[in-house]
A = this chain, B = another copy of it.
Amino acid sequence: MKYAIGVDLGGTNIVSILINENGKILARDKRSTEGLKGKDHVLERITESINAVSSVKCQVSRPKKLKSTTDIIGIGIGTPGLVDMDKGIVFEAPNIPDWDNVNLSKIYRDKFGLPTFIENDANSAALGEWWIGAGKGTKNLICLTLGTGIGGGIIIDGKVYHGRDGYAGELGHISLSFDGPECGCGNPGCLEAYASAIGILKRTKTLLKDKKNKKSRILKLAAGQISNITPAIITQAAKNGDMLAKKIWKDTGFYLGSGIASIINIFNPEIIVLTGGITGAGSLLFKSMWETVRRRAYKNPLKNLDIVKGKLPENAGAVGAAKTAFQRIENNN
């Protein structure tokens, strides 16, 4: 039996797992990223997390410094930012200062003596859900990570589709309109600008300034502080019957459904997996998403299509990162 370590580097937490080639998770570690303390600190946190999962009591041999001669054959790291997979270098990650031009592959290969591969975080989540999550057994899967921003991952024939330079899968940056809200990427009207947490909260703040929404209790649930509002608070308000909160989720479902309709017409996928905090809104969001998809997408590719929540909300990224290591070692690159 072969084992790999998968690391999911997030803006808030680092999640690491030890997993075998059959997809069984044998150990897991979660610790805060503490990104604001800078690059070297985060690199050390990753080291601690890898040590934690590789030294637990399990079937795997566990020397103090892991060697490639052990049963653990490699490390995969899912990271935000632009990823040069061949060189193992990550560029321009948001949320972690100095996280630019970092040769993660070299750093951990030298430290642990194991081949180390990196992958974009959304691609890792897609691969994780494909391998042992909601997309298990499929060939073609699309994953949308609905969080602070919106990431995407495209799985074709069981592999991440990377495009020419590794930048493919930016599904949050499908344009939904010509003159919509400005996105972080600089383009107006991206799916992310409408349906990410950032987009939803921006729209909420604008709506709360409108006098006709003065009955809304969203602000009260946020202790009167507009900066305290989160998607979870909007969900809570909607569940309490707040009309504005319901409208915000209904509109978000329409925007999300509009983007997904295009994705369906482009990919005719077997399954679309939605992950990330925004999915916590549940049917408040999904009902209008489905209505929009049914209205806007072609009928034929809808017949056999599943659009589901991810099954690995805590682990998809780390699982996919480990799978990246397995796949790349198998393909000798």
Residues of A within 8 A of B (CB): 82, 139-140, 152, 154, 156, 161-171, 173-178, 185, 187, 258, 261-262, 265-270, 295-298, 300-301, 303-305
B187 touches A270 (CB 8 A): no
A168 touches B261 (CB 8 A): no
A175 touches B266 (CB 8 A): no
Residue of B nearest to A261 (CB): B175
Residue of B nearest to A138 (CB): B164
Residue of B nearest to A165 (CB): B268
Chain B residues in 8 Å Cβ range of A304: 164-165
A168 touches B266 (CB 8 A): yes
Known contacts A174-B265, A262-B174, A265-B170: does B300 contact A270 (CB below 8 Å)?
A: no
B176 touches A268 (CB 8 A): no
Chain B residues in 8 Å Cβ range of A185: 298
Interface of A is mostly: loop
Chain B residues in 8 Å Cβ range of A156: 156, 161
Known contacts A175-B258, A265-B173: does B82 contact A300 (CB below 8 Å)?
A: yes
A187 touches B295 (CB 8 A): yes
User: From residue A312, how far is it (CB to closest CB) to chain B in Å?
Assistant: 22
A262 touches B175 (CB 8 A): yes
User: A171 vs B139: C-alpha distance in the bound complex, in angstroms?
Assistant: 21
B164 touches A301 (CB 8 A): yes
Among candidates B154, B178, B187, B268, residue contacting A166 with C-beta atoms closer than 8 Å: B268
Residue of B nearest to A255 (CB): B178
User: A301 vs B167: C-alpha distance in the bound complex, in angstroms?
Assistant: 6
Taking A175-B296, A185-B298, A262-B262 as given, write out 11 further A-B residue pairs in contact, using a Cβ cutoff of 8 Å, ordered by the A residue number. A82-B300, A139-B164, A156-B156, A163-B269, A167-B268, A167-B301, A168-B266, A173-B262, A173-B298, A178-B258, A187-B295
